[in-house]
């Protein structure tokens, strides 16, 4: 379990971060389970939790969530109370709003030093204004009475406005009327202002952050692991061999059913390559203490995403021209089919970011195109990590000739555009850094199309040059 973080890091190669809540579990030697709920609670998450909970007569439910939809959260809480599960918020985890209501259902409840539990009234968003909802508060009140909480506890859990959070900790446990256990005899080292109602900015629903490591320790409260284990290909392989892992990751891509199967096959093939796992392990080990602490998941995600791009474009230089031409042609069609937001997410991630959209847009070309695209990605990554075949390098003369031939093809393509678009595209191509996103995407479509359609040996040279420039 010490490498659980790596599952999410490797998933970054083929998926975007999840928006809805995620449910992870580990089973102890005595058959009891540790279930982690991470992320924003959304409609349908209660069904996911019910399907998981029927497998375990005993469980500790760990929580790290900004809250979310009230109705599924209350149903999850009822299932926890019905099954007699305990709940916990561990050190550095934060559980607020609807998540805190789930935590209340535990028997018993645990709050680790440094963990945060926050309550406020139920609300709805009306044009950017957070407004208390009477129906929501009534549902919460009924739920809290089902948990047999005292009137004092109900007031504590519901009295803060939607723009406030009322924090619970060891110092106000008695006055709140909410019983819980603390796993450490040391005082709670709470964040500043923890234990009182604090003002928070009226912002949109918080995006979930990558989950903390699942600690390998005796239940009920797993202590933090202080020593950072060294990653190896073998340890990663053991973690990634979990049943249905590839299918679970692929399902997050929001692809049609047939393409979800194609994506799962791709993920399985990635996880099965020894050289690739060794490279990932080396990158994670090089990160050192950056992979410890509260932001470890986000750091691992970024390392994995950057490693994927680096390996793909380095590896493409090792592949034959037929693979390069097909890869660029698929990307060219994707850029033509994508709207501006999708184009930005795929080709300019510093401006908009959603890795899953790349595969969604490519998938519109059909199952065969997606399968071929993923196959070329794998070939490129595996070629680079195995250093075979050799990189096909261009001489300066070849690079210049390829660029000249592609420039002629680009001018031909621009001439086919509507007159109103020609100047905007030409200006964007001349100064891509300062062009707006719409014009940059239109210019990129011209470049990609020219890269795939330029004929002859000079076309081969330009495709190599295009990949070199993309790598840089």
For residue 354, the model assigns a pLDDT of 53
Give mean pLDDT, residues 50-64: 85
pLDDT attached to residue 401:
94
Average of per-residue pLDDT across 88-116? 87
Q: Give me the chain's average pLDDT, please.
A: 78
Run of H or E residues at 235: helix 233-240
| pLDDT at residue 130, as a whole number | 58
Confidence at 184, pLDDT banded by 50, 70, 90? very low
Is 3 in contact with 241 (CB distance < 8 Å)?
Answer: no
Rounded (5°) CA angle 56-57-63: 65
Question: Does residue 148 carry a pLDDT above 60?
Answer: yes
Q: How high is the pLDDT of residue 133? A: 64
Query: Alpha-carbon dihedral of residues 274, 386, 347, 409, nearest 10 degrees?
Result: -150
Write out pLDDT tens, residues 201-219. 333 334 444 443 333 333 3
Helices (H), 64-133: 70-83, 98-104
Kindly report which listed range (95-99, 236-240, 305-309) carries the lowest average pLDDT score: 236-240
Greatest mean pLDDT among 161-175, 222-236, 276-290, 383-397 lies in 383-397
pLDDT band at 462 (very low <50, low <70, confident <90, very high): very high
User: In the prediction, which pLDDT does 400 show?
Assistant: 92
Q: For residue 83, how many other CB atoms are within 10 A of its CB?
A: 17
Extract the tokens encoding 363: 């998938």
What does the pLDDT read at residue 371? 93
Adjacent-strand bridge partners of 94 = 116
User: What is the pLDDT confidence band of residue 125, given thresholds at 50, 70 and 90?
Assistant: low
Percent of the chain with pLDDT over 70: 80
Q: Which of 202, 239, 252, 306 is CA-nearest to residue 3?
A: 239
What's the whole-number mean pLDDT along residues 144-156?
Answer: 86
Confidence of residue 162 (pLDDT cuts 50, 70, 90): confident
Q: Between 60 and 345, whose confidence is greater?
A: 60
Sign of CA dihedral 331, 332, 338, 344: positive
Tell me the average pLDDT across 214-239. Answer: 56
Report the 3 state secondary structure along 308-323. Answer: HHHHHHHHHCCCCHHH
Mean local confidence (pLDDT), 385-400: 91
Residue 31: predicted pLDDT: 67
Q: What is the reported pLDDT for 459?
A: 92
Q: For the residues 37-65, what does the mean pLDDT come to? A: 86
DSSP 255-287: --HHHHHHHHHHHHHHHT-HHHHHHHHHHHHHH
Average pLDDT over residues 290-298: 73
Rg (CA), the chain: 26
pLDDT score for 453: 92
- pLDDT value of position 197: 38
Residue 355 has pLDDT above 50, yes or no: yes
Angle CA 13–268–358, to nearest 5: 35
CA-wise closest residue to 257 among 267, 268, 270, 247 = 247
Mean pLDDT for the stretch of residues 400-404: 92
Among 98-102, 129-133, 311-315, 366-370, the range scoring the smallest mean pLDDT is: 129-133
Q: Bridge-partner residues for 41, per DSSP? A: 68
pLDDT reported for residue 145: 84
Which pLDDT band, with edges at 50, 70 and 90, does 229 fall under? Answer: low
The stretch 386-391 carries a mean pLDDT of 90
Q: Which of 311, 306, 366 is nearest to 334 (CA)?
A: 366
Whether the pLDDT of residue 445 is over 50: the answer is yes
Q: Which of 59, 13, 19 is closest to 38 using CA atoms?
A: 19
What does the pLDDT read at residue 432?
80
397 has a pLDDT exceeding 90 = yes
Position 183 scores a pLDDT of: 57
Taking residues 289-316, report their average pLDDT. Answer: 80
Nearest to 71 by CA among 133, 1, 9: 133
């Amino acid at each position: 379990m010490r490498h659980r973080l790596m599952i999410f890091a490797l998933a970054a190669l083929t998926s975007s971060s999840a928006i809805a809540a995620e449910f992870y579990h580990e089973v102890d030697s005595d058959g009891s389970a540790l279930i982690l709920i991470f992320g924003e609670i959304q409609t349908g998450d209660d069904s996911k939790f019910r399907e998981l909970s029927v497998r375990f007569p005993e469980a500790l439910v760990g929580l790290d969530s900004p809250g979310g939809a009230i109705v599924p959260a209350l149903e999850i809480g009822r299932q926890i109370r019905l099954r007699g599960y305990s709940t916990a918020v561990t050190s550095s985890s934060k559980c607020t709003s609807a998540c805190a209501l789930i935590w209340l259902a535990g028997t018993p409840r645990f709050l680790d030093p440094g963990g945060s539990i926050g309550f406020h009234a139920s609300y709805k968003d009306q044009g950017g204004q957070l407004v208390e909802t009477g129906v929501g508060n009534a549902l919460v009140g009924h739920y809290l009475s089902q948990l047999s909480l005292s009137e004092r506890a109900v007031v504590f859990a519901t009295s803060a406005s939607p723009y406030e959070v009322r924090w619970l900790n060891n110092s106000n446990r008695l006055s709140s009327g909410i019983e819980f256990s603390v796993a450490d005899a040391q005082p709670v080292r709470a964040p500043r202002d923890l234990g009182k109602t604090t003002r928070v900015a009226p912002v949109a629903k918080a995006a979930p952050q990558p989950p903390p490591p699942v600690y390998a320790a005796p239940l009920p409260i797993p202590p933090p692991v202080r020593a950072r284990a060294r990653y190896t290909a073998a340890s990663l392989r053991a973690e990634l061999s979990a049943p249905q892992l590839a299918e679970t990751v692929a399902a997050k891509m929001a692809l049609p059913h047939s393409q979800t199967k194609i994506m799962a096959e791709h993920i399985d093939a990635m996880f099965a390559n020894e050289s690739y796992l060794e490279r990932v392990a080396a990158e994670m080990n090089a990160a050192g203490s950056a992979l410890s602490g509260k932001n470890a998941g986000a750091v691992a995600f970024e390392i994995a995403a950057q490693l994927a791009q680096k390996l793909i474009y380095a590896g493409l230089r090792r592949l034959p021209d037929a693979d390069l031409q097909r890869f660029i042609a698929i990307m060219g069609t994707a850029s033509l089919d994508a709207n501006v937001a999708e184009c930005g997410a795929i080709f300019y991630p510093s401006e908009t970011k959603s890795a899953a959209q790349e595969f969604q847009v490519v998938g519109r070309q059909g199952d065969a195109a997606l399968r071929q695209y993923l196959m070329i990605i794998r070939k490129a990554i595996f070629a680079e990590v195995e250093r075979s075949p050799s990189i096909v390098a261009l001489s300066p003369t070849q690079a210049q000739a390829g660029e000249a031939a592609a420039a002629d093809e680009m001018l031909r393509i621009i001439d086919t555009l509507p007159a109103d678009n020609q100047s905007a595209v030409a200006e964007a191509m001349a100064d891509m850094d300062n062009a707006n996103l719409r014009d940059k995407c239109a210019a990129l479509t011209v470049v990609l199309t020219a890269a795939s359609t330029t004929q002859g040996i000079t076309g081969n040279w330009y495709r190599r040059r295009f990949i070199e420039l993309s790598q840089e």
